Amino acid sequence: MHTRPSPRTRRTRGIRARTTARLAATLLTAAALLVSACSSGSSTTSSAGGTVEAALAALPRATPSALTPYYGQRLSWRDCGVPGFQCATMKAPLDYARPDAGAVRLAVARKKATGKGKPLGSLLVNPGGPGGSAVGYLQQYAGIGYPAQIRARYDMVAVDPRGVARSEPVQCLDGRQMDAYTQTDITPDDQRERDALVAADRKFAESCGARSARLLRHVSTVEAARDMDILRAALGDRKLNYVGASYGTFLGATYAGLFPRQVGRMVLDGAMDPTLDARRLNLDQTAGFETAFQAFAKDCVRHSDCPLGGRGTTPARVGANLKAFFRKLDTHPVPAGDADGRKLGESLATTGVIASMYDEASWEQLREALTSAMRENDGAGLLALADSYYERDAKGHYSNLMMANAAVNCLDLPPAFSGPEDVEKALPEFEKASPVFGPGLAWASLNCAYWPVRATGEPHRIEAKGAAPIVVVGTVRDPATPYRWARSLARQLSSSRLLTYDGDGHTAYGRGSACIDTAIDTYVLRGTPPPAGKRCS
């Protein structure tokens, strides 16, 4: 999962409308992931040396009487203001342990099936995060960009998870405070800078606790997955059909673990590994960004406009050149033409580069932005990439993406580090994983240490025994969800089929591989999963 609004692992938008919607939602923040080394056995070794034996247990099949009012509700659909889409509000218990103690209101949207073929029910989509708006993703991409044959047979549906976007969003810092927070130096060089980083993380956490006290204990992935089952019932579906990307795979797998008999056709693209603790998660993702950067470096030097080296320059030298540029920005930020007076410093530049690792289609844009900053003293391009990553608009307003991201991550797993001393001890390991990004991503993993509520989750296996076939998709050089996470999740799920994309970028479906798209479309439309071990390029 992830945490701090800093070089998170979310995705960037910009190059294509579709990349915009997808990257904007697959949020995995290198500042608060959740993972731990996988093993081939039934248990998982955590970074602390312990063993994770717990598995997510399925809930009883009978609906508890206290939840009957929620499961029996009818959705009142209305016009969304977006042509072709309808919206509704669904209620779910704020606290599933006390269903009578109040409700949370969740935003739901749908686009009705458009074709004449036999209806296949609803297809729920989630683009990731945590913190990405599923409703926005549906309206901007999935509801109009998914294959026509799928949109013809399914009602396309999305719900913003609790605490996200339109569903009673978690609130923390205002726009100006977020500007300051995202510019905080995350590679501190001395005690003063370390103290400033800790103070920024404390302020962020305290503001969330002050402004979102009611929600903060109830935005876990388990609760969001239980909400999805209420939505399934409210839609009148016997089974849940679902396509989730990035963090959406963790949400979907959690649903499968809780409600295995209700699983319909489920695709988990860019899979996460629930057995991993937060420290290992962040470390694995750091290595994933290094893998992606190596691919970018090899591509960059083939182009005459690469500012990091010419033909024959090794990826290691490209990385060293970029790191030297970051060091320069640390002490001498460059102008960015920003209306609010922000300059491009090391933190925002790093975020802009990381954002571009999500999709190789953005590498050209990154080369141009780096050229402007390094050769022309113009940081506008990298600043725009960073703002896209943080969902900051031209007026200085931020969506609640990063706030919800931290709230969910800090509740789902105990913190990666307990304080700055722990980070300092881990720096060599993170720097080994990525010489360019390692130190920043290690320090960015600190914020859950100061979170105002204790984590309710822990690393665990998800087996989902009795579920229908679940297609797990992994991309070999995925920066945000390393391929081994997909392999690990596929080993855990009792009915999984692993589908491999030998390519770059984050997630695989709808990114240009006809082999991947055909395999997933066939499964979603016909229920026929790809053969075991299928590999595409």
In sequence order, which residues have a C-beta less than 8 Å from that of residue 507 and are 6 or more positions away? 22, 26, 245, 246, 269, 270, 473, 475, 478, 481
Take residue 184 and report the two structure tokens written for it: 């905080």
Tell me the longest C-alpha to C-alpha distance in the chain: 68
Distance, first Cα to last Cα, the chain: 27
Q: Are strands 155-159 and 103-111 parallel, antiparallel or unpaired?
A: antiparallel
- Tell me, what amino acid is at 35? V
Catalytic residue among 167, 388, 506, 513: 506
Nearest 10 degrees: Cα torsion 358, 359, 364, 369? -20
Catalytic residue among 155, 185, 478, 504: 478
Q: What is the DSSP letter of 62?
A: S
- Could you tell me where the beta strands, DSSP code E, fall in 251-367? 263-269, 334-335, 343-344
Q: How many CB atoms lie within 10 A of CB 508?
A: 28
- Tell me, what amino acid is at 44? T
CB-based burial, 42-61: b 16+ in 10 Å, e otherwise:
eebbbbeeeebeebbebbee
Whether 506 is catalytic is yes
Catalytic residue among 36, 212, 246, 372: 246
In sequence order, which residues have a C-beta less than 8 Å from that of residue 16 and are 6 or more positions away? 361
Decide: 90 and 108 in contact? Cβ < 8 Å.
yes
Whether 478 is catalytic is yes
Take residue 319 and report the two structure tokens written for it: 């990385």
CA atoms within 13 A on the CB side of 493: 36
Task: For residue 490, give the nearest of 480, 503, 499 by alpha carbon.
Answer: 499
79: which strand partners? 86
Whether 397 is catalytic is no
CA-angle at 10, arms to 519 and 344, nearest 5°: 140
In sequence order, which residues have a C-beta less than 8 Å from that of residue 175 and are 6 or more positions away? 392, 395, 396, 397, 398
Query: How far is the C-alpha of 7 from the C-alpha of 29, rounded, in Å?
Result: 7
Q: Are strands 496-504 and 535-536 parallel, antiparallel or unpaired?
A: parallel
Helices 175-182 and 191-211 cross at an angle (nearest 10°) of 150
* Three-state DSSP string of 420-461: HHHHHHHHHHHHHHCCCCHHHHHHHCCHHHHCCCCCCCCCCE
In sequence order, which residues have a C-beta less than 8 Å from that of residue 206 and are 6 or more positions away? 450, 452
Give the residue numbers marked as catalytic. 246, 478, 506
